[in-house]
Each structure stands twice: as C-alpha cells, then as structure tokens.
A and B are shown apart, each in its own frame.
Chain A
Amino acid sequence: MNGRMTRRGFGLLATAAAVSAAAGRGVAQAPAGEPIRIGFSMPLSGALAGNGRPALLAQQVWAEDINARGGLLGRSVKLVFYDDQSNGANVPGIYTKLLDVDKVDLVISSYGTALIAPAMPVIIRRGMAFVSLLGSSTNEMFKYGGTANISPVGRRMNVDFAKGFFEIARGLNPTPATLSIAGLDSDFSNRAMESARWQAREHGIRVVYDRAYPPSTVDFSPIVRAIRSAAPDLVFFASYPPDSVGLLKAAGELKLTAKMLGGGMVGPQVTAIKAQLGAQLNNLVCWDVYAPEPTMTFPGTAAFLDRYRAAAEAKGAETLGLYAPPLAYAQMQVLEQAVTRAGSLDQAAIGAALHREAFPTIIGELRFDQTGEWVEERNIYIQYQGVTGNDLAQFKQPGTQVILYPPQYRSGQLRPGFPAA
C-alpha cells in the first residue's frame, strides 16, 4: 500500500468509516483467529480521571463497533489497559508491561502531555506506531516519525491557539482596544497565554493586565479585582477546570464586565462544570474541540454520541460526551485506518501510513504532518447562549454552544458583552 490514495479510494474509505460508525453493531463477518490486543494506560483515578474515564468509554464503544463489523484485519480487537493514576512515573512501567508481558500488538497513548511523554522512550525503542490523545507538542522533543496526535491545537499552539478569539473580537463594534490576560502557570495555559499575547500584537490590542497564577490558587477575587480596575475591553483566561469555576464565580460576584470574556478555558467543556455553572456560562466565548451544532456534523458523529450516551448512562459516567470522547473515538479510527492501509501489524508500515493520507473520522477529516500534529489547526471557539438552569439535556441540543470560529463551522452570531444582559 505504497501508492497515494485516489480520490475514489478516499471516498470509499470515508463512506466505510461513516457507515461503520453509524451502523454501530451492524452485521458483518465474524472475526476469526487470535484477537488483536491494543494496549494503553489511562488516568482512571487522580487529577485527570475526569477526562480519562469518558475517553476509555469511547474507546470501548469503538472496540464493540469494530468487533461487530468483523474486526481489524479480520481479527477481533481486545483492549488491554491499566490505570496510570494520572501519574507519569507509572507510565514507562505500564508500557513495558504491555509490550513485554501482555505482548500487545498495538499501542495508543494515555491522555495529555504529562502521561504521553513518559511512554515515548519505550515506544521509540520498540519502534511502535503511536496514536496519542490530546498531547501538546509532545513529539517536538522526540521527533519520532511513527506518531500522530489527536489534538486540534496543531503544531503552532503558541501562535494559533487564540486566533479564533481575536478574530471574533474583531467583529465587535467599536473594535476592542485593550486586553487582560490571566492564566494558570502550567504548560497548556502558558502556551495559550503566549498565543493571546502574539495575537494581541497582531491585532494592535494593548495588554493592560497580564498575570499567571500558581496551581495552588483558590481565591480568584484579587485577580478579578485587578482586571476590573484595568477595565479592559477583552478578557482572556487560560485556566484549568477548578480555576475556570473559581474565575467565573469571582467574575460574577465582583460584577466584572467586558465586551468579550473567555478564551482558553478548560473546564466549561466538562459535564459536571456545565451542570454547576448553568446560566452563568451565557455569553462566555470559550475554546472547545467539538459542539453539537448542525455545521459540525460529520459522518458518524451523531451515531457515536447516541451509543456513547447510552453506555455512559448504563455505567453512570458523564453523559454528554462532547469533549474527550469524540477525540478518543477518532484516535481509534485513525489507528484502525492506518492498520488497514498498512495491511498488517508491521509497525513501520502503520507509522508511515499515519502521515500519508487523510483520515475520515467522526470529528472530521484529519491529516497529520511529519511531527504527528494536525496539518491544519482546528481550534473552535464557541459562545454559550440561552443556557437556562442546570439541566444537562440542553447542552445536547444545537443553539446552546454556538460556534463562532472557524468560519466554516460558524453556526450563529456573537452576542457582545459579558455577563449576558
């Protein structure tokens, strides 16, 4: 499978991916032979478990789907996974166990940079193909050829991440002139803030407040007070879930107003936080990876969400499935297609296949560059609109998380001002 894929071939593959995801457990030839074992670690406890558990559930849904479709290369698929406890020090041991003792055929990553990077030396030493989940330029240091990263931030996060926020702000009347930046002192947030500074320079916006706060921060009132004193037009936060809640609560209590507020906040995507904040989210303009808007439906997305939500309901897991689960399912689809294109479990062939052609997935068509990052970043900025009460069902409907950027997925108009009138 060395030649480039034709348009017709790609169309067939896309249709197959769509049909397979939509069909779920459709009838197919029963897989035969020894199962193909896919090994990975996942944060099922500890700080990252809130995203690790839903991601695992999505991967299990994929395993059920592919086995119902006749398996991978005609063999059934079995997932072999261990809880890394959100602790990177556990990861090298787990991956050597997977490869040496469990003798898995394929490996995928855990969730997030801190849990992906410790696996890399083991992966590189064995020459394994490696599809990772929501890493942040993890391969920049290793420069390993056989990897692909399922993360929409792309290769130039420090530049591109906040682009959408500023593009949306450009539509405000009058054009915003000042900006406040506040964010957590951590890898992801620092890159997000760097991008905000870069974009502010590009758009000629003056930064009037710029601070990073330490991870131990619990009282966000001083930060919000300082921002209020600076009276910026725009407020860009780069925060993690607990801080996002703290910042928005403090903004509400101290009556912080801005023409536009939000940015690279991780937290509002999490189901429990959506339920907690409810209507307080209205008019927040926030980074995201997926929103259930009519402009962002890809083949198989709706079917996957139905299957995921049913499984989550049964297992008592988070039931929206809008953040990590679609990406985790896409991670498995990319692996599946790379193996199918390689036609064997040869790791070099699978690794090469990761960079050759586009991958139709439930989160759209993905294409990876040589470092494994998306060729085109796809940072989505949504605005919460019309949220009432704390009912989670409303977040499953279009119109609640309106996509404002990028233009090709735009599903509504910006409602200026924060908080909502």
Chain B
Amino acid sequence: MSRPLRLNVGLAAAGVALILILRLIDNDYAWYTGYVILQYVLLAVAWNILAGYSGYVNFGTAAFFAAGAYTTILLTKALNLDLLVCVLAAGLVSGALGLGMGWLTLRLRGVYFSIATLSLAVVLQTLVVNWPYAGGSSGAYTMRPQGYAVFGNYSEFLFVLMLVLALGGIAVAAGIERSRLGLGLATIRDDERAAAAAGVPTLRLKLIATAISGGMMGMAGAPLPYYASYLNPEAAFSLTHTINAMAMTLIGGTQGWVGPVIGATLLSTLQQGATVTISSAGNLLIVGGVLILFVMLAPKGILGLIRAWRGRGDTA
C-alpha cells in the first residue's frame, strides 16, 4: 500500500472510529463540541496551506469563512438548496474569492500582504451589512430540520459533515505537501526570488494555494448557519476565527499538516472545556496565554518540540 493511500485509509478509519465512539456516548453535546473542534481543525489546516507552506500570512480567514456561511444563507433562501450543495458552492465561491484576492495582493509580501488580507474581511462585512437580502445588519435565520437522511439527529449529521470536510482537508493538505505544488511552495517560503530565478512559477503556485486555502475555509463556514440557526455579520466576520486559526497552527507547528491538526485539537478542546468549567472572562486568556508560552518556549510549535526531542535522541 502506497503512503498516500495508507494515510487516506487511516484518516477514514479514524473518522469511522470517532463516529462510533460518539454514538456510544450518545450525547448531543458531544456532537456539538466535536463539530466546533473539527471546524477549527479544517480552518487551521487550510490556513497552513498558504502560511505554513509558502510563508504568506493570511489575516483574512474570517472573510473566507463568512463567505462560505453567507453562500449557504443566500442559496438556501433563494433556491432552498440542500446543505451539501451549499457546502460545495461555498468552496467554489471562497476559492474564487481566494483566487481574486491572491491576484490582487500576492505581489505584496510580508506585513503588507497580511494587511491587505485583513481588509478583505472589512470590505466583505460592509457588503453584507448593506445587503438586506443576506440579512443585512439584522442577521439571518436558517431553520434547521430535525434530521437528515439516515441521521435522526441533525447535530449528528452536522458533525459527520464537518468530520468528512476536516478529513478531506487533511488529505488535501498532506497531498499538497508531497506534490510538486508543495515543493514549489516550499521554495517560495525559503527564498522566493531564488525560486523565481530557478524557473518556479511563483505567482501561479501562490494563486493555487490561496484558492485551495480559501475554498477550504469557505467549506468550513458553510454549515455554520445550520449549526447556529442565526447568523449576524459580527459573528460571521469575527476576528476570533482568524486569531484561532493562526494560534492553533503556530502552537501545533507550521512545518506540515500534522501541526495544525494537533494545535487545533488541543486548543479548541481546551477552549470548549474552559467555556463550561472556568466560565468567566478567564477563558479568553487561554489562546493568548498558550500562544505567548509557545512563542517564548517553543517557537516552532509542538511539531518543532517533537523534532528537537527526536534529534537529541538520534545524536545521543
């Protein structure tokens, strides 16, 4: 069995195992919590495709995420389309948005690129606020059915959908890492001028990465209107999505797809736990506190720590 096939089979098996475990727990809360954790896994993995692989730090996560959510709201309202179709459409819309944003901004580097991506969220939010059909500033309601196909419980369906999206996202990220695209992006991250001089089509590769990353973020946001039932622009475009996706990836490590998965699972679980235990403003400090700790003690994240530890073991 080839390595990619092994990985995909492993991911599928992990997904099935997770569903079976949660079915045994038989608790709605598990579906809801699992959904949120997986949503952040997908966002972190998607963010890492551009930032980790090519070194371009994207502050526009909330914009792509919200574009996906509002695609669902609009398609549901206009055509009453099924959520699965909305998810695919959200991927296309956010992917196209990523492509457009990349085309406009990818000639910028470093902090200038980051500022440009941040402004995308502001522009889109202003558009939504002034678009009454999308709910405008008042927000939009989405009525959630009681069940879906074989799922008697819609929460379980949403969890399984997000699980499939997250595992798919991981498979895509792992695939990119090993592909010519991944190698090209790595050369851009290391030295873009040298890569261009060596014949790497840097702009084209960056555009592909931005489109894939944006598309995945949009798909992560697409089920949100059904999860929350009510969505307003402040919630959809919240900077929290951006900060969390970045912090989770930086804590896990940006060197590969495993880092964001570890970071998102760890931090998101911690946040979910803190919400129902500490339950005060204190839980807001978690992301910042953990991030500061990692920046100071382990700037390459958990993956970096593991590699350093392994390296020490090899030399001993």
Contact = CB atoms under 8 A, between A and B. Distances in A.
Interface of A: 44-45, 49, 81-85, 87-94, 96-97, 99-101, 113-114, 117-118, 120-122, 125, 141-142, 184-187, 190-191, 212, 214-215
A100 B28 contact: yes
Contacts of A101: 27, 29
A-B interface, 7 closest residue pairs, ranked by CB to CB distance from nearest: A117-B230, A45-B281, A187-B138, A93-B32, A141-B141, A96-B29, A96-B28
Give the interface centre of B36, B154, B279 by most chain A CB atoms within 10 Å: B279
Interface string B234-252: 1100101000000000000
A99 B31 CA distance: 13
Main secondary structure of the interface of A (DSSP, over half): helix
Contacts of B238: 87
Contact of A185 (B129, B229, B284): B129
Contact of B235 (A88, A120, A191): A88
B236 to A, nearest CB: 9
Contact of B275 (A82, A96, A113, A214): A82
A379 to B, nearest CB: 19
A83 B32 contact: no
B36 A114 contact: no
A141 B232 CA distance: 15
Contacts of B284: 45, 85
B137 A44 contact: no
Given A141-B141, A141-B143, A215-B137, A118 B232 contact: no
Contact of B32 (A85, A87, A96, A186): A96
Contacts of B144: 121
A280 B36 CA distance: 46
Interface residues of B, number: 39
Contacts of B138: 186-187, 190-191
Contacts of B29: 93, 96-97, 100-101
Contacts of A184: 137
A118 B230 contact: yes
B137 A88 contact: no
B80 interface: no
Nearest to B282: A45
Nearest to B224: A89
A124 B231 CA distance: 18
Contacts of A44: 279-281
Contact of B36 (A93, A120, A141, A187): A93
Contacts of A92: 32, 227-229
B54 interface: no
Contacts of B229: 92, 117-118, 120-121
B27 A89 contact: no
